[in-house]
Amino acid sequence: MPPDETLIADCAAEAHRIAPNLCGTDPETGESCAWYHGFWPYLRALGIVTTPDTHRAFYDESLRTLARQPGFRRVLISGSADFNMLEQVYAAFDAADATPEVVFVDRCPTPVALAEWYARRFNRTVEARASDILTFRDKPFDIICTHSFMGYFTDDARQTLAATWASLLRPGGKVVTINRIRPDATGVMGFTPEQAEQFAEKARSAALSCATPLNIGVDEIARAAQLYGQKFRIRPVQSIKILGNFFEANGFSINLMDGMLVPGHEGRRGTGPTTPAGATYVHMIATRR
Tens digits of per-residue pLDDT, 233-271? 999 999 999 999 999 999 999 999 998 776 544 444 445
Domains contained in the chain, CATH given: 5-288 (3.40.50.150)
Quick: pLDDT tens for 146-171.
999 999 999 899 999 999 999 999 99
pLDDT at residue number 259: 84
Distance CA 127, CA 105 (A): 9
Quick: pLDDT tens for 120-148.
999 999 999 999 999 999 999 999 999 99
Q: What is the average per-residue pLDDT within 70-79?
A: 98
